[in-house]
Structure 1
């Protein structure tokens, strides 16, 4: 008589140590990782192309003369340049994508990163295999935060490099909503804030679809609020002169007031007052908004760990 020995198949275990848990996070979300990598490659290739045609695009907004002179090309030659539109559209596409990255990140973090794993029990299974809930959440946040910072920061630097001399006719004014949010450290801070808000929504709701929606809604509120009150984040400059004057295009005008005389039909004001942010306020505004976003990210992260401790043994 033959005796058959039955050996039970070992249960799938989460590898011990931080590196093993990092690998599990990367493998679990490999679809998002592949999409992120492809997006970075596409943005890099596009910005390198934009830099290559930048010198051809800039003359389209230079001076011209008919007939041409030693200093100015002919106006017909300037009108024939078409690279300017391609360059402007390419730069605008990447800049807009950078400043809106908070929205897909928040939805993904709430839905796929946290909410789905709590909903289907994957997270609780990991907690029974020598992975504490705190370490699970810390790794869940640290891995995408590192990838977001590295990837977004790289594209941000390439975007600044491709913009060249920041000709506003080609790349827009520095104070435009997309231009401001897509050309400074606030770009990275928005991505990290979206990650933290989405994770908090996932822990609160524990269901993928509702958490994705709430994470996205929180990101929309944060983005809209800062966009609305950005001009108030740093003291403005006021300029008052007799008569009428115009601010340079580089000035972000927030308020304009004119005092008119008592005689009807006067077309020139007695004095004019303008409140504005000069170009030099770009960095102070960036730093203040970045600080606010990082504070939001830190508060949402702390709240996420608090919720996790309250709901786990």
Structure 2
């Protein structure tokens, strides 16, 4: 019969984790209710958009397109406008979620607790600073990922339902639609959580952390928007001067092609030559055609996946920095407590 040893520590760790999660949910219950309500409302609006609103708008556009010039006919203009409004509101709301997460993370999740001393009180109740931060970040990260991921999927579903049926539906490469339709929005939300948390640890005050986390998340959004088109090889098309530039998608670069095959920026065309199609300007520049480097619709998922990977790498850096900061700022206190306990 094998000798009896100490009981495994797994049940104790599981009980401690459950206790920590209950404490976290109780402490941030209002934020949890607001997040759940926001996700439910936006999900309902996107389902409404994908179904009845898209169908009504598509029918109205079909009636409008069937109208002959100079002949009065009826179509449901309200359905067209209603679809446009709901699409704009839901897309804007989904775009704003990462910034809301950043503001909450900096102000309420960490900044306020460090400012009021609640965090230090928790550290004296058997919760180490590192475990405190881990629970603080892990639970919101799961909820943010699940909620934002669901809304992104529903938005893509609503956009796909209208694509090709509603004449005013946004193109796939529209600035807000591009991210709202893919996983980069989840990456932005997690980056907002990380930026806010790091700001809270640095400032240890709610209001400065809110502002810093928000500004940092805006900076991440702007930089990633500029970086995204260069993360995947673009397609290049060459067309004649008479045909013009025809590529549809995210344009990376464009210009003229000379008789030697060189690719140059498009020359400035003065107004007096613009009325003639800029023929003199292009002739002086030795232009024989146009070139365009762009991302077609087939690049949608490669662009999204590699950009999301970059954002997740940034989230990992932010998280590592946050834990290193907590260890450095509380290490001396922890050592002093251990020394006192040993004495």
> What is the TM-score when the length of structure 1 is the normalising length?
0.85
Counterpart in the other structure of 1:156: 152
Compared CA separation, residues 25 and 276, structure 1 to 2 (3 A): same
Contact 2:247–2:294, Cα closer than 8 Å, also in 1: no
Pairing 1:112–2:114 present? no
More helix per residue: 2
Aligned-residue CA RMSD (Å) = 2.4
Q: Which consecutive unaligned segments of at least 5 residues does structure 2 have?
A: 1-13, 260-272, 283-287, 335-343
The aligned length equals: 290
Question: 1:48 maps to what in 2?
Answer: 47
1:258 is matched with which residue? 256
Match of residue 7 from structure 2:
none
Q: Which position in structure 1 is the counterpart of 2:73?
A: 76
Structure 1: 5+ residue stretches without partners: 1-14, 68-73
| 2:305 corresponds to | 287
Residue 24 of structure 1: CA displacement? 1.1
Partner of 1:304: 322
Preserved CA contact (<8 Å) 1:58 1:170: no
Contact 2:102/2:193, CA 8 A, preserved across alignment = yes
Look up the match of 1:136. 132
Deviation at 1:259, TM superposition (A): 5.5
Deviation at 1:301, TM superposition (A): 0.4
**Separation in structure 2 between the aligned mates of residue 88 and residue 282 of structure 1, nearest angstrom:** 23
Listed one character per residue, the Cα deviations across residues 240-259 of structure 1 (whole Å, up to 9, x for unaligned) are: 13333255574223333235
1:107 is displaced (CA, Å) by 1.4
Deviation at 1:294, TM superposition (A): 0.6
Are 1:87 and 1:170, in contact at CA under 8 Å, matched by a contact in 2? Answer: no
- CA deviations 1:169-201 (Å, max 9, x no partner) are 443111122111111011111111110111111
Pair 1:127–1:236, CA change in 2 (3 A): same
| Cα distance in 1 between the residues matched to 2:302 and 2:244 | 24
Q: Is the 8 A contact 2:247 2:292 kept in 1?
A: no
Shift of the 266–287 alpha-carbon distance from structure 1 to 2, 3 Å rule, reads: closer
Range with bigger deviation, 281-290 or 170-179: 170-179
